[in-house]
Structure 1
Amino acid sequence: MCEIHQAAYAVIRCFEQGGKLLLCGNGGSAADCGHIAGELCKGFLKRRPLTDDQKALIGEDFAAQLQQGLPAIDLTAQTPVMTAIINDLCGDNVFAQQVMAFGRPGDVLLGISTSGNAENVRRALITAKSQGMTVIGLSGGTGGKMQALCDLLLLSPEKETYKVQEDHIKMYHQLCILIEEHFFKA
């Protein structure tokens, strides 16, 4: 089984057990975190209609404007929380502290770093492992320091940042497709 399929299986297993996916990265990788959360929180390639029970509870008209979602949380989007951590604790702990707050055993952390050496992502990975979470990395080249911390590491063979990022978008789109196809077959 290829790494993307293994990563999809890990996230699927997490969601089936009531867990969530946490995402972190810097710069362009932070934008990728938001992109991934967006693909999973609502329909990506498939329409995800509500169940009949949900429709009955909230009404047909409202239900027609909602879709089933999967719990993916972009830790880079929590600006007030991030600035409090940076101000009161340490900037390198900006994601690790959120993993302490939101992460639970069985959850998955997807950390993105084109070099694999982002200290704040590395600390989040360490914290996730300590919380009993599955750790997936998305990186380039050799995977840098994050390689030793990941249960699964999806690597672009490229070393230039923009080329790594171009590979990453293809990788995480495939990941999102596999996850969506599992949960929303119609």
Structure 2
Amino acid sequence: MQEHIRQLFSENIQTMIATGESLAGPLENAACVIVNNLISGGKVICCGEGATSALANHFAQLLLDQFETERPTLPALALLPHNHSLQHCHQQDYLARQIKALGQSNDVLLVISLTGAEPSLIKAVEAALTNDMKVIALTVDTSGELSGLLNQQDVELKVPVHRPARIFECYTFLLHSLCELIDMTLFPQQGDL
């Protein structure tokens, strides 16, 4: 069992190295998009489906509260996950409806996808683009339709891994890295504390 444990750590390290090599530029771009939109008075709207909605909530909370150092709050929210008790809300557009109601052209949608084919996330991205919002998408190599919706102003953070556990680890690390880059850019003096 200990050998298997060492293999898990090794797999994680190799995955993180590969992700770092492929996503350094896009991660910087994503941080710049968020910072520029926050400076212009926008907010970050986060969403995922199923388990990735927890990551969306986590990221929004880190922006609202703080990452590692105390700083002013940043405007962010996570969309409500699908609630089967909402009788009039169509199953696949529950996120899109929230974006239509809350999203504005100076906002950023941060969408977290495990497959790139989740209908609710595709409709969310379509709604964001209709509202002239920028999109940052955390995706995997197999991402199809969702990736195809993105344009040049959007940023795709496509992790080079397929195992769900490694995907979640990468996504969590990417979100924490984004927080650090945002804080470092907006509040450089906070890092000196």
**3-state SS in 1 of match to 2:92:** helix
Question: Is 1:39 paired with 2:62?
Answer: yes
1:103 is matched with 103
1:75 is matched with 79
Counterparts of 2:31 and 2:67, CA distance in 1: 15
Letter in 1 for 2:30: A
1:160 is matched with 163
Question: Is 1:175 paired with 2:169?
Answer: no
Counterparts of 2:70 and 2:136, CA distance in 1: 27
Q: Number of paired residues?
A: 163
**3-state SS in 2 of match to 1:180:** helix
TM-superposed CA distance for 1:110, in Å, is: 0.8
2:136 is matched with 136
Task: Check conservation: 1:25, 1:76, Cα contact below 8 A.
Answer: no
1:47-58 alignment to 2 at 5 Å?
47-48=70-71
Q: Which moved more, 1:137-146 or 1:91-100?
A: 137-146
Gaps of 5+ in 2: 1-23
Question: Is 1:10 paired with 2:13?
Answer: no
**3-state SS in 2 of match to 1:155:** strand
Instruction: Give the structure-2-normalised TM-score.
Output: 0.79
1:149 is matched with 149
Counterparts of 1:74 and 1:14, CA distance in 2: 17
Counterparts of 1:39 and 1:104, CA distance in 2: 21
**3-state SS in 1 of match to 2:188:** coil
Instruction: Give the structure-1-normalised TM-score.
Output: 0.82
Counterparts of 1:162 and 1:115, CA distance in 2: 14
One of 177, 187, 190 as aligned partner of 1:184: 187
**3-state SS in 2 of match to 1:69:** coil
Counterparts of 1:4 and 1:178, CA distance in 2: 9
Counterparts of 1:115 and 1:46, CA distance in 2: 33
Q: C-alpha deviations, 1:41-91, integer Å up to 9, x for none?
A: 11211212xxxxxxxxxxxxxxxxxxx1001110036x7xx557x420301
One of 1, 7, 30 as aligned partner of 2:53: 30
2:13 is matched with none
**3-state SS in 2 of match to 1:88:** coil
2:5 is matched with none
